[in-house]
Amino acid sequence: MEKDRDYSKLQGRTLTFHIARTDAGQRIRDYLEHRRFPKAVLSQFKRNPGNITLLKGEAPSPFIDGKMPVFPYGSHQPLFRRMAEGEILRVTILEEKKPSLQLTPVPCDLDVVYEDEDILVVNKPAGMSIHPSIRHYEDSLANALLYRTRSRGEADMVFRCINRLDKETSGLTILAKNMLSGAILSQDVSEHKIQRTYVALVENPGEGELLVGRGEVDLPIGRADDSAIFRCIDHERGQKALTYYQALAPKDGLSPVILRLKTGRTHQIRVHMKAIGHPLPGDYLYHPDYQKIHRVPLHSARLVFTHPITGERMDLFAPLPREILSLTDLSEEALREQILIFSKLFMESVDDAKEG
């Protein structure tokens, strides 16, 4: 039962809010909902003592149902409590300390691009899966993260990967470090609010068949009947999939391509590029041609999103791996500039479509 819960086995993230004049009179629930606190977190506040406290403040509590409630400062506050200007709201999000008994910590030098109390963004190498699997039980990002947290003397955290990359894809991926940041970022993913920009290398079948300029691929993707992994274009049962691309100057039969996804289907870029006649070389599933590269040349190069707690605009880059960049005529600086140009044109086209 909840009353018998051992709160010593909970760990928490505490947030502090200074109540401004514009927020005075709001109920705590309304104030937190406005800051995108999910229902699961708000429900937790009803069960666990000490999650919500108020400090300072001169204004008395308002009448509720004709009665004057007494909620001393420093004690647990109910969600219906109205706040006054100058009060300090402290909210603690508790989570079970879940020992990762089924996960083996494995040493790995993670390339951390950004980290704070709420999120961790890493530049994942190609060949590393996100979660352990039967064939890759100890070489996943989850294994590496567990080793990192324990080696730093930190408590194990629930593994929450927000934008999951294929094992063969390198680049930026976001990990949420607590329940609140995870819930908010997951909602952002479902609402397509996280801007994900990829860079790939694609083949040009012949001199007259170069992939040029900007375009889009709008073809439904489904699972092949005879495989649990392989995906294909399926006009009858497939899910809608939309990919935008910008092809750059080719070199030796390969073109670097900047891509943005409207949807996030499994293997979407790899399937779409193959469908229009420009597969990714080195792709063991869809185009196993290893003459020039021995990995899938696909990289999550840029992420733009709103920080789930601070509201800050996050704009992060991960440089293109050398084995991909060396097959182009681009420098890293030139590629980044092209990504920014493409993103600007992409957003303008989206705005035009909305107005139309």
Q: What percent of the chain has pLDDT over 90?
A: 62
Distances (CA, A) of 227 to 105, 231, 285, 316: 31, 8, 11, 35
Domain contains 1: no
Among the ranges given (80-89, 138-147, 150-159), the one the predictor scored with the smallest mean pLDDT: 150-159
More confident residue, 98 or 317: 317
What pLDDT is stored for residue 208 in this prediction?
Answer: 61
Domain contains 174: yes
The answer to whether residues 87 and 16 touch, using CB atoms and an 8 Å cutoff, is no
| Co-location of 247 and 259 in the same domain | yes
| Co-location of 177 and 312 in the same domain | no
| Co-location of 125 and 258 in the same domain | no
Q: b/e per residue, 50-70, with b = 16+ CB within 10 A?
A: ebbbbeebeeebeeeeeeeee
| Co-location of 214 and 319 in the same domain | yes
User: pLDDT digits over 251-265, tens only?
Assistant: 999 999 999 998 889
Residues in Cβ contact with 178 at an 8 Å cutoff, skipping those fewer than 6 apart? 13, 93, 95, 117, 118, 157
| Co-location of 69 and 202 in the same domain | no
Pairing of strands 298-306, 170-176: parallel
What pLDDT is stored for residue 58 in this prediction?
Answer: 55
Token pair for 147 = 């080793």
Decide if pLDDT at 129 tops 50: yes
pLDDT band at 39 (very low <50, low <70, confident <90, very high): confident
Distances (CA, A) of 100 to 20, 26, 97: 41, 40, 9
The answer to whether residues 91 and 130 touch, using CB atoms and an 8 Å cutoff, is no
Instruction: Scan for tokens 């760990």, then name that residue.
Output: 11
Domain boundary among 79, 96, 113: 96
Domain contains 63: yes
| Co-location of 243 and 255 in the same domain | yes
Q: What CATH number did the domain enclosing 72 receive? A: 3.10.290
| Co-location of 111 and 237 in the same domain | no
More confident residue, 283 or 228: 283
Among the ranges given (5-14, 21-30, 167-176), the one the predictor scored with the smallest mean pLDDT: 5-14
Domain contains 23: yes
Average pLDDT over every residue of 276-287: 96
What pLDDT is stored for residue 8 in this prediction?
Answer: 44
pLDDT band at 12 (very low <50, low <70, confident <90, very high): confident
pLDDT band at 61 (very low <50, low <70, confident <90, very high): low
What pLDDT is stored for residue 96 in this prediction?
Answer: 62
The answer to whether residues 175 and 120 touch, using CB atoms and an 8 Å cutoff, is yes
| Co-location of 295 and 201 in the same domain | yes
| Co-location of 50 and 135 in the same domain | no
Among the ranges given (7-11, 146-150, 235-239), the one the predictor scored with the smallest mean pLDDT: 7-11
Mean pLDDT for the chain overall: 87
User: pLDDT digits over 185-244, tens only?
Assistant: 999 998 989 999 999 999 998 766 788 899 999 999 999 998 889 999 999 999 999 999
Domain contains 2: no
DSSP type of residue 60: P
| Co-location of 103 and 237 in the same domain | no
Q: How many residues does the chain have?
A: 356
Report DSSP letters for 195-257, one per residue: EEEEEEEEE-SSGGG---SEEEEE--EEE-TT-SS-EEE-TTTPBP-EEEEEE---BTTEEEE
Decide if pLDDT at 352 tops 90: no
Q: What CATH number did the domain enclosing 259 receive? A: 3.30.2350.10
| Residue 316: count of CB within 10 angstroms of its CB | 15
Which active-site residues does the annotation give? Answer: 166
What pLDDT is stored for residue 349 in this prediction?
Answer: 64
Name the domain count of the chain.
3
Decide if pLDDT at 355 tops 50: no
Q: 28: domain range?
A: 7-96
Domain contains 344: yes
pTM for this entry? 0.87
| Co-location of 110 and 242 in the same domain | no
Domain boundary among 74, 96, 118: 96
| Co-location of 199 and 340 in the same domain | yes
